[in-house]
Structure 1
Amino acid sequence: MAATGQAVAADYVIDTDGAHASIQFRISHLGYSWLKGRFNDFSGEFQYDAANPGDSEIAVNIDTASIDSNHAERDKHLRSADFLDVQQYPEASFVSTDYIPNGDGTATLEGELTLHGVTRPISIDVEKIGEGEDPWGGYRVGFSGETEFALADYGIDYNLGPASETVYLELEVEGIQQ
């Protein structure tokens, strides 16, 4: 592997311990500004082979109670039955079903997002950021992704007006080869 500079098919764990991964969101606040936040606690694993990227797979689990919009009262409301209902749905998840490379370092990641007790297909636009040996003797690969979805598609129907119906997700994933 060191001789080629490329990883072969391998399993990776998302580096959340080192804070080299993030799940961030934004949603319009009544059409006047962007509310931004993140999920602080999540975990995941993926398989990736640079020679055969179409064979890639990923699974991610998110602790919905870890939502953080930098405002304690708003976060309490977001955790309530009006939005995430973390008592009933303490976890969200994403499991890939297909990885479609475009041949230029970008791809479409297809999969099933489960949120608020509802599972629906979703597509994520992905860009490979890089891969290689790290300073600690390991091997890493990183990706960035973006997607969007309507809250109503996942049974979240709290009315904030038409400008606030869509959530935009930004995903940063750095994996450590196992």
Structure 2
Amino acid sequence: MATTKWSLDPTHSELGFKIKHLMISNVTGRFTQFEGEAETEGDDFTKAKVVANINPASIDTSNQQRDEHLRNADFFATDLHPNMTFVSTKVEKAGDDTFNLYGDLTIKDTTKPVKLSVEQNGVATDPWGNVKAGFSFSGKINRKDWGINYNAALETGGVMLGEELKIQGEVQLVKQA
């Protein structure tokens, strides 16, 4: 079967996250600059090879002061580590339109395995003849596994930031000619 290449449509894709703040609510954010590609056998995504690159300096939490803090050495150290990557290692069918996507996530030169839950939302042809495939994904990581350890103790007990980071996104891929 022929190999099909797909590229990320950045205008119809998003990459977000959530983390506990003060142990009582979530702060959400997103990365505005990322790219990705996939290789499949025909249009079958069950054996897809996926690669994504994320610019951590593009972090946006709707608060400029917090975003600058997230870019510094306490968190992403974007001056020293200008890229985060995800490279898939395996796809496992979980249901009719659902998959577990396993891969290696590199943040701050540390690479660890992750598992993402993926739902394939369908394939459609846009008005200009481009074939597109849509996916929703989610997962959880422990930020300390990548050396993102910053925190502060609260007077009332507990800490300012949770360790678990929830990742979620929407991806639209465009089939390449």
Aligned-residue offset at 1:46: 0.7
1:168 counterpart = 2:162:
no
The one-letter amino acid paired with 1:167 is L
Structure 1 pair 51–77 and aligned structure 2 pair: CA distance change class (3 A): closer
CA RMSD of aligned residues (A): 1.6
Partner of 1:150: 142
Identity %: 36
Contact 1:53 1:101 in 2 (8 A): no
Aligned-residue offset at 1:49: 4.5
Within the candidate set 93, 116, 134, 1:124 is matched to 116
Q: 1:1-150 counterparts in 2 under 5 A?
A: 9-16=3-10, 19-49=11-41, 52-150=44-142
TM-score (norm 1): 0.90
d(CA) in 1 for partners of 2:78, 2:27 = 20
Report the count of equivalent residues.
169
The one-letter amino acid paired with 2:30 is R
The one-letter amino acid paired with 1:25 is F
Aligned-residue offset at 1:101: 1.2
The one-letter amino acid paired with 1:170 is Q
Q: What secondary structure sits across from 2:46 in the alignment? A: helix
The one-letter amino acid paired with 1:67 is I
| Structure 2, gaps ≥5 residues long | 153-158
More displaced stretch, 124-133 vs 158-167: 158-167
Q: Deviations over 1:54-110 (max 9, x none)?
A: 311110000010000000000000001000110111100000001111241000000
TM-score (norm 2): 0.90
